[in-house]
Chains A and B, each alone.
Chain A
Amino acid sequence: AQTVTQSQPEMSVQEAETVTLSCTYDTSESDYYLFWYKQPPSRQMILVIRQEAYKQQNATENRFSVNFQKAAKSFSLKISDSQLGDAAMYFCAYRGDNYGQNFVFGPGTRLSVLP
């Protein structure tokens, strides 16, 4: 079974600085999808960024980018120019390539942004 690990329960960053959240996963599949979700205090789950495993190029969405290392099974999220609104729980998630496949979530990292 696939597993997703986020080894940093809590992180903090100074406003305007850069922070990297770690995520590793375990799978025997060759094709899959990876995601980062943000959950602010409102508890709404917001998709931040997605990565297809067959794509070598790292995904980027504005201030958010990933470092996808397929061989190492690593999928870290980098937040540049951190803003107060970035404070939230961040979840890394895995989806296999089979229709109906469950999503596997990591335990989350709580990010604080310091003014």
Chain B
Amino acid sequence: SQTIHQWPATLVQPVGSPLSLECTVEGTSNPNLYWYRQAAGRGLQLLFYSVGIGQISSEVPQNLSASRPQDRQFILSSKKLLLSDSGFYLCAWAGTVSPLHFGNGTRLTVT
């Protein structure tokens, strides 16, 4: 069966520091991969999605970037975090006709 791992679960970082959130999927090949952000009590904002290695689509201009160095690995990065980057980040995968399957999320606090 397919599983998705996302880490870390919680992260506290100072303003201006770099960020790297990682997500890996097991049990499937060539999945679509997604990064979402969710403010407290709010809906989901799609940040990036990828349909293959090296193929990244950005939905929201910001100081975040994403990379997909391997088929089942998706990384969210920033060179310098802003206070506004605080939030709950969710990685997810989907197959051709499947629903989204989410990781457990990362709670990021920028101080």
Contact = CB atoms under 8 A, between A and B. Distances in A.
A44 B105 CA distance: 7
A106 B51 contact: no
Given A45-B90, A91-B43, A91-B44, A103 B100 contact: yes
Interface of B: 32, 34, 38, 41-44, 46, 49, 51, 59, 88, 90, 92, 94, 96-97, 99-102, 104-105, 107
Interface of A: 33, 35, 37, 43-45, 47, 50, 91, 93, 95, 97, 99-100, 102-103, 105-108, 110
17 contacts: A33-B97, A35-B99, A43-B38, A43-B88, A44-B104, A45-B90, A45-B102, A47-B100, A47-B101, A93-B100, A99-B32, A99-B96, A100-B32, A103-B46, A105-B43, A107-B42, A108-B42
